[in-house]
Structure 1
Amino acid sequence: MKQQEINKLSLEDLKSRLADFKKQYSSLKLTHKMAPIENPLRIRGMRKVIARLSSELTKRSNQA
């Protein structure tokens, strides 16, 4: 997800997307520990998306 897409999301969408990405991230890491996945850079990309979503959520909560 790009930052522009994240900025357009509502607060509820941010929370749900963050929960979804965290769930996907944990399952991807577990899969990678058992057997290497084809593209391990997906793990890094997902971590960055989670960080972007968390940052935007924090920014919005501090503004309110």
Structure 2
Amino acid sequence: MKTTEIKGLTVAELKEKIGAEKEALRKLQFAHQISSVENPMKLKDTRKLIARLSTELTAKQKAAN
């Protein structure tokens, strides 16, 4: 996701997206431990996306207060 797309999401959408990405990361890590994943950089990209979403969620929550 691009930064502009992330900034356009609401707080509820951000929470939903973070949950979905965390689940995808868990599945990807599990698959990587069993056998090599086709694209191991996907792990890094998913972690970074979760961090971006969490940062934006925190910023929106602080702005609301």
Sort the TM-score into its range (normalised by shorter chain): over 0.9
Partner Cα separation in structure 1 for residue 17 and residue 10 of structure 2: 10
Q: Unaligned 5+ residue runs, structure 2?
A: none
Unaligned runs of 5+ in 1: none
Within 5 Å, give how 1:10-49 maps onto structure 2: 10-49=10-49
TM-score of the pair, normalised by structure 1: 0.96
Between the two proteins, the alignment pairs up a number of residues equal to 64
Q: CA RMSD in A?
A: 0.6
CA distance in 2, matches of 1:40, 1:53: 21
Q: Secondary structure at the match of 1:38?
A: coil
